[in-house]
Amino acid sequence: MTRTLRTQVAVIGAGPAGLLLSQLLAGAGIETVVIDRKDRAYIEGRIRAGVLEQGTVDALSEAGVGDRLHREGLIHHGFDLCFDGDRHRIDLRGLTGKSVTVYGQTEVTKDLFERRFAQAQQFFLGASDTRPEGLKDTRPSVHFTHKGRQIAVEADFIAGCDGFHGPSRQAIPPEVLRTFERVYPFGWLGIMVERPPVSHELIYANHARGFALASMRSQTRSRYYLQCGMQENIADWPDERFWEELSLRLGSDTAASLQTGASFEKSIAPLRSFVAEPMRYGNLFLAGDAAHIVPPTGAKGLNLAVADVRLLSRALIAHYLDHNDHYIDTYSQAVLSRVWKVERFSWQLSTLMHQFPENSPFEQRMQRAEFDYITGSEAAARSIAENYVGLPLE
């Protein structure tokens, strides 16, 4: 027998996008039910990005989960681009008046979970066979199995915050959905280590042997990446080999300050650009990775998801509190306009900073010319900085 529940907004996905949406709606007195196929420990344990735009920091503060972020987050006023050993700092504060904050997505998720549980949010974690249905109806529903029992959640709206592989996007009819994709011919080999970062700001490096990134999660925990082939095996990358290759790609001057050690996390992530249109179908709204993926160059994934949620929460709050459906009706168009601009920046920075196996000597020279233009033009550097700190909401 199916147990039927009723709520105002059913949220599929308990990652940072879904949790933040439920928190922002709760602040306006709007009820939600949150459903996810994984349990809390798994969701909180996922290693993800950690550079937050000011708009993301503002949204988390508005949601009441900014206290630890403001205590522990590292404010960065710039970052470095390095090309064949030549290093240039992008002065974010000087060029835009804004900064970014380093604070891990894992910590954001923990803060949101703690807040939602403290406020008695209704969760169904560990759900299986999740299916959004009746998307064109006035009361769509989400059906799933939880602890061996069939559950149906009826709602006014469904928010699909369930990532690239979730059921929400797949529920949109194929004759309606359009997808756009660019799969990159390499991945990022990343490690985490309990050592102070090599630099107080991020370093993006393009070397003849491939891209490298020096990042961090705190003053004592560092995150490093190397461009690698997708056929690479992690077993072929012991820590010693990783540190040797990273030192080479960062250059001898930077490597002189590199503190190495045993890694406690190591993984290879593919790179892709992906966009699905539209981001609304009937009473289903997509947000975050359910609708778009950006390569990690430029740290836009989480920030883009938060921007979606800010616009979606605005639309839903206006519907319930002001009986105004303008933002609901324009949600997909407004969000996609910003999404494509962010995709363009992530594609631009990825194209500039990676070694592409198919690149001709001409294209390699174009990469160098682009780097030289950025270093020699304040207007070009400002364009990079404006995108890095975050574009305004529509």
Ranges of H-type helices in the chain: 16-27, 40-45, 54-62, 67-72, 92-96, 105-118, 167-170, 239-250, 252-255, 301-322, 326-329, 331-353, 361-376, 378-389
Helix H or strand E segment including 277: strand 263-277
Looking at 110, 207, 292, 300, which residue is catalytic? 300
347, 295 contact by CB (below 8 A): yes
Judge whether 76 counts as a catalytic residue: yes
Cα–Cα distances in angstroms (integers) from residue 190 to residues 74, 262, 381, in the given order? 21, 13, 27
Which of these is catalytic: 103, 184, 204, 225?
Answer: 204
Is 357 a known active-site residue? no
The residue from 132, 296, 331, 354 that is catalytic is 296
Tell me which of 103, 184, 331, 388 is the catalytic residue. Answer: 388
Output the CA angle 388-116-44, nearest 5 degrees.
60
Q: Is 204 a catalytic residue?
A: yes
The three-class DSSP label of residue 220 is coil
| C-alpha of 268 from chain center | 17
Place of tokens 């993006």: 204
Distance CA 305, CA 16 (A): 8
Sign, CA torsion 336/64/197/261: negative
Phi, psi of 380 (to 5 degrees): -65, -40
Structure tokens at 344: 């363009």
Catalytic positions, please? 76, 204, 296, 300, 388
